[in-house]
Structure 1
Amino acid sequence: MYSIRRYFLYFFLFYSLILVLVFLGYRVLIEYPQDLATIEEHQKRELGSLSKGLSLSLNNLQAVVTDWAHWTDTHEYVQSPQDHQQYIQDNILSSTFETFDLIAIVYFNRDFEEVFAQGYSQQDETLIPAHQVLDFPLGNVFRSRIDPGQPWEGNGWMATNEGPAAFALQYITDSNEQEPPSGYLMFVQAITNSQIENLQAITRLQLEFKPTSLNDPETFGVVSLMTPELVEGFQLQRKRLLDDFTGTPIMLVTITHDPLTMPKLIGWSEILILLLLLVVPAALMLSIDRTLIRPLWRNTRLIRTMVDKGELQELPQQLPVLELEQMRKAFNNSVQLVHSQQKKLQALSMTDGLTGIANRRAFDEGALSAWHKALRQGEPILLAILDLDYFKSFNDTLGHPAGDEALKCIGSTLTQFCRRSSELCARIGGEEFAVVITGEDKASAEQRIQSLRQSVEALAIHHPGSDIAEVLTCSIGALYIQQPGADYRNLALSELLTLVDKELYRAKQQGRNRVSFQCYSLPHPCD
């Protein structure tokens, strides 16, 4: 069996465990997947922004090559290159390559035969032969994919000796775009650091471009940059392939997402929330412990002390719970009832049931207390024993009911006789009564005892069996000690009562219905 405090502790621990499990379950099964899905959607948009940024770069290059290809001077040059060399001298300059970040310009006729090609080294900032940049027959590649002479335009990516690059191809016509295609113009643009920085600024991604090929083991399992889905799910860093216009990977792009968007299963915010959720029941438990358990524990400890000492007392500590407070009040009422009953029982144990005056037990305690008080204060004390004359004959003649009534009358007479709080009267036997009086001088004490005998006789209770009178009478033996001092401390109460018995016996011997009064002092009785 455990204490209520331990039960509350177990409840708190169980509640905390359930709370943590529910919180973690909600976090793991509901909230975290939602956060993860949100972050994945955000990363998907970032990849989409990267794809759109690259597409925008291709579109810008397409716009530039279109502006050049749909120009009458270009149209005339392709139709008759020998007659328009001035066109090359005026337009194919280093400044042209630098302005558009180009590394190659190629002119084709309508059958994708190369008319003119020029390369550019960005490192040396000089014009170089085109085959140093493009070392493969572009005409054959395009011819196999495009019907010659068609008004075709397109863009994409290709591998060059200068590294992966963007290209844009546009059919050539006059400025009014009325003439049929006379050839094709291709611009090849290098991927520069400024372009990468612009993409990073737009997408908030960290990008790293690295040339690659199909034989590169790093490309195994890596999907194309144009793939719209996050095949790996949430990742802080992922890799994508940039394919050329034939679908062959030419560049490995390492993409690092914004680290601030990294979802955490359990972060500081979740820990704080969990702590707050645990602090509330902890504070509640401490409040309950202070306002309920502690008062209840104090009352319980007090009850345990009562049991150990065998003394009942009311519980002073109030309880905040109505039912417990009602229990406390009921306990206090029970204690009051027990005390009341104890007083009644004590009164019954100290009272003679017939006469209503003190019994022998009460007399022994009261007489002993009066004797000790007399010894302490040195005041006079009178001990007397009253015995009804021929009372056995009274009962035999008139019956016990009459005898009981007579005893009640004697009890009432004694009660009227001992009116002071320091005086005691008691029934100590069948027809024997005792009286203790303190603070009276000898003459007054002797007079009062004589008046007591006369009061009994004055009751005029008819006694047909008496040899000395027609009414019920009594004999009294009295012992008076005028000034008990230190010499009397060794004198026990029982010894005094023995002396009083002797005086009663003397009164009986002298003819009954009389008082034998003796003034006692050490070492001899006084006169």
Structure 2
Amino acid sequence: MTLRFFVIIGTLILMCFVTSLLVSYRYFFTLPTINENIKDYQDRELLSLEIALNREFVFLKTLNYDYAVWDDSYDYMTSFDKDYIESNYVDDTFKSLKIDGVFIYDMNFKQVYGHTFDYIQEQSFELPEFDLNTHLPNRTILPYKKNTSERFGFLRTEHGPVMFASHVIQRTDKTGEPVGSIVFIKKVRKSQVAMMAEVAQVKLSYSIINDDSATQNLLVLNGGIQNEGIATERQRILLDINGNPLLTVNIEHHHQRLPVLFDLYLIIILIMFFVASIIGFFVVNRFFITPLINGASAINLMLLKNDLQPLHFKNQFIEMRVLINGFNSLIKEVKKQNEQLEKISKIDELTQIYNRRAFEEIYTLQWHDAHNQKTTLGLMLIDVDYFKLYNDCYGHQEGDSALQALCRVLKETAQSNNGIAARYGGEEFILLFNQLSFEQFELTSQQLRKNVNALKLPHKGSKVSDVLTISVGCAFATAKAMDNESITAKSLIKDADVMLYEAKNTGRDRALIKSI
């Protein structure tokens, strides 16, 4: 372990320890306190929302009570005097009371009087749901049960949900037997919801429930959080007077963001600590570690660059000078051996010509030179005809000898024309020529084929000749073509491969050329 590595590990351990300490403190102490405070705040918001809703009903119930517990209303149930109606339930009354409808029933649920008037739009509308002889379940809106003098709640209608309040009709002094009841209604409007949201300091929206199954897991608006966790938004349902889901209320809490483990404050503290740790490490490294490992750093740098050079480093310590001298001697020996290995790694062991890896390196360089200088470039891709049958007839040892003889011809042909020869794979070889004219390139390809035939290596398994032959696919890029960006090194090889395929398909023992 190096000293620098030891210091880095120590710094990282310290950073991890402090980070774990800060995160644990926030997780086990800070976050629970914050969550509890937010929970209390949101609980109060929900309670305020319920109070705001109740306040709407209190207003409606108070109006309803004033009209129900009144001698004039009581007398109307016995006389049915139209003057009572005309003087008390004109359209202006609805506008001033901000209600949308009045219904009067006798004790047998028969509607004695009913009138609806939208005080916002100032027009009448129909509410058949308040005909209690045809809508029997809605009779629950009337306070005719024992020990009950009033009822209030929501009711579903074809015009949307409405709020209602009902009270038995009595004399002003509350004497006399009940003779009926009066119902006041008020449509549920967005303006009401907005007023409730302002009181509760939340954002509200609502939707009418048409499918009870969609609200099975929702809580009724009744109290605060009701054993829920904190949230930025939640849903509650409102029930009608018969206990059926009527409205879904969407509640968005104001001025609250759910606390997260890594908030901005903690992130800033961690960043400051990390920066301080890094600065501390660089100070220690600069003034204490670096002077101790300069020599080792120089060697490591050379190893990373794969460029071993003698060290020209002076040091006052004898031990370091001995190490440097020994290293320089070792570098000389390594360079000598690398040169030998480099030569071996690029030569095919059997044929003693370049292997494919060496060819690709040379081809890349010559391609760029030809492309930049706008000179010609030619490739010959060579395949031994029916070489598998040759091995089957004469054995692999004779096959290797034949390849060696062939490669001597390839190498001589390449060297005489300032080119290179390489084994491309198995019995496939490739020749590369730079700056030949097309005529020279064509003549060389034909002469190569003849020189191979002149070896007169018997091949009784061949279907084209009694001696070993080759098929040659040639691709020649002119100087003009090398100036074309669409021509690439890969495409030139592909063209040679296509011509080789054509040469083999048209009878073998031939050389075909494509000039680009």
TM-score (ref. length: structure 1)? 0.51
1:275 matched to 2:271: yes
Residues 111, 149 of structure 1: 8 Å contact kept: no
- Aligned length, in residue pairs: 306
CA-CA distance at 1:23 after TM superposition: 2.7
Q: Which residue of 1 aligns with 2:114?
A: 117
Flag the 1:122–1:144 CA change in 2: closer, same or farther, 3 A: closer
1:2 matched to 2:13: no
In the alignment, the residues of structure 2 paired with residue 212 and residue 93 of structure 1 have an alpha-carbon distance, to the nearest angstrom, of 33
Q: Which residue of 1 aligns with 2:502?
A: none
In the alignment, the residues of structure 1 paired with residue 293 and residue 280 of structure 2 have an alpha-carbon distance, to the nearest angstrom, of 18
Matches within 5 A, 1:146-225: 146-147=143-144, 152-213=149-210, 215-225=211-221
CA-CA distance at 1:114 after TM superposition: 2.7
Flag the 1:148–1:76 CA change in 2: closer, same or farther, 3 A: farther
Letter in structure 2 aligned against 1:229: I
In the alignment, the residues of structure 2 paired with residue 74 and residue 89 of structure 1 have an alpha-carbon distance, to the nearest angstrom, of 13
Letter in structure 1 aligned against 2:20: L
Letter in structure 2 aligned against 1:2: T
Residues 171, 185 of structure 1: 8 Å contact kept: yes
In the alignment, the residues of structure 2 paired with residue 143 and residue 220 of structure 1 have an alpha-carbon distance, to the nearest angstrom, of 24
In the alignment, the residues of structure 1 paired with residue 129 and residue 123 of structure 2 have an alpha-carbon distance, to the nearest angstrom, of 12
Q: Give the secondary structure class of the aligned counterpart of 1:238.
A: strand
Residues 71, 174 of structure 1: 8 Å contact kept: yes
Moved more, 125-134 or 178-187: 125-134
Letter in structure 1 aligned against 2:316: T
Letter in structure 2 aligned against 1:48: L
In the alignment, the residues of structure 2 paired with residue 262 and residue 100 of structure 1 have an alpha-carbon distance, to the nearest angstrom, of 42
Letter in structure 2 aligned against 1:131: P
Q: Which residue of 1 aligns with 2:229?
A: 233
Q: Which residue of 2 aligns with 1:21?
A: 20
Q: Which has the larger radius of gyration?
A: 1
In the alignment, the residues of structure 2 paired with residue 272 and residue 133 of structure 1 have an alpha-carbon distance, to the nearest angstrom, of 64
In the alignment, the residues of structure 1 paired with residue 279 and residue 256 of structure 2 have an alpha-carbon distance, to the nearest angstrom, of 35
CA-CA distance at 1:123 after TM superposition: 7.1
Q: Give the secondary structure class of the aligned counterpart of 2:86.
A: helix
Moved more, 122-131 or 232-241: 122-131
In the alignment, the residues of structure 2 paired with residue 44 and residue 23 of structure 1 have an alpha-carbon distance, to the nearest angstrom, of 30
In the alignment, the residues of structure 2 paired with residue 184 and residue 80 of structure 1 have an alpha-carbon distance, to the nearest angstrom, of 15
1:57 matched to 2:64: no
Flag the 1:292–1:192 CA change in 2: closer, same or farther, 3 A: same
CA-CA distance at 1:184 after TM superposition: 1.7
In the alignment, the residues of structure 2 paired with residue 307 and residue 231 of structure 1 have an alpha-carbon distance, to the nearest angstrom, of 78
Q: Which residue of 2 aligns with 1:87?
A: 84
CA-CA distance at 1:121 after TM superposition: 4.0
Q: Give the secondary structure class of the aligned counterpart of 1:246.
A: coil
Letter in structure 2 aligned against 1:189: K
Flag the 1:262–1:96 CA change in 2: closer, same or farther, 3 A: farther
1:161-201 C-alpha deviation (Å, 9 max, x unpaired) = 22111111122222333444333221111112221111121
Q: Which residue of 1 aligns with 2:254?
A: 258
Flag the 1:34–1:148 CA change in 2: closer, same or farther, 3 A: closer
In the alignment, the residues of structure 1 paired with residue 224 and residue 256 of structure 2 have an alpha-carbon distance, to the nearest angstrom, of 23
CA-CA distance at 1:289 after TM superposition: 5.3
Q: 1:306 aligns with which of 317, 326, 332?
A: 317
In the alignment, the residues of structure 2 paired with residue 95 and residue 144 of structure 1 have an alpha-carbon distance, to the nearest angstrom, of 25
Residues 109, 133 of structure 2: 8 Å contact kept: no
Flag the 1:227–1:249 CA change in 2: closer, same or farther, 3 A: farther
Residues 39, 263 of structure 1: 8 Å contact kept: no
1:141-170 C-alpha deviation (Å, 9 max, x unpaired) = 446985458561231111122211111112
Flag the 1:249–1:51 CA change in 2: closer, same or farther, 3 A: same
In the alignment, the residues of structure 1 paired with residue 141 and residue 72 of structure 2 have an alpha-carbon distance, to the nearest angstrom, of 28
Residues 149, 182 of structure 1: 8 Å contact kept: no
Residues 242, 253 of structure 1: 8 Å contact kept: yes
In the alignment, the residues of structure 1 paired with residue 146 and residue 113 of structure 2 have an alpha-carbon distance, to the nearest angstrom, of 18
Q: Give the secondary structure class of the aligned counterpart of 2:113.
A: strand
Residues 141, 151 of structure 2: 8 Å contact kept: no
In the alignment, the residues of structure 1 paired with residue 86 and residue 26 of structure 2 have an alpha-carbon distance, to the nearest angstrom, of 69
Q: Give the secondary structure class of the aligned counterpart of 1:262.
A: coil
In the alignment, the residues of structure 1 paired with residue 52 and residue 315 of structure 2 have an alpha-carbon distance, to the nearest angstrom, of 84
Matches within 5 A, 1:358-377: none
1:367-422 C-alpha deviation (Å, 9 max, x unpaired) = xxxxxxxxxxxxxxxxxxxxxxxxxxxxxxxxxxxxxxxxxxxxxxxxxxxxxxxx
Letter in structure 2 aligned against 1:202: V
CA-CA distance at 1:308 after TM superposition: 4.1
Flag the 1:219–1:162 CA change in 2: closer, same or farther, 3 A: same
Q: Which residue of 2 aligns with 1:43?
A: 42
In the alignment, the residues of structure 2 paired with residue 49 and residue 152 of structure 1 have an alpha-carbon distance, to the nearest angstrom, of 27
Letter in structure 2 aligned against 1:266: F
In the alignment, the residues of structure 2 paired with residue 116 and residue 2 of structure 1 have an alpha-carbon distance, to the nearest angstrom, of 99
Q: 1:245 aligns with which of 238, 241, 247?
A: 241
Letter in structure 1 aligned against 2:67: W
Let me know the Cα RMSD of the aligned residues: 3.6
Residues 117, 125 of structure 2: 8 Å contact kept: yes
Q: Give the secondary structure class of the aligned counterpart of 1:221.
A: coil
Flag the 1:8–1:278 CA change in 2: closer, same or farther, 3 A: same
Residues 114, 139 of structure 1: 8 Å contact kept: no
Residues 142, 167 of structure 2: 8 Å contact kept: no
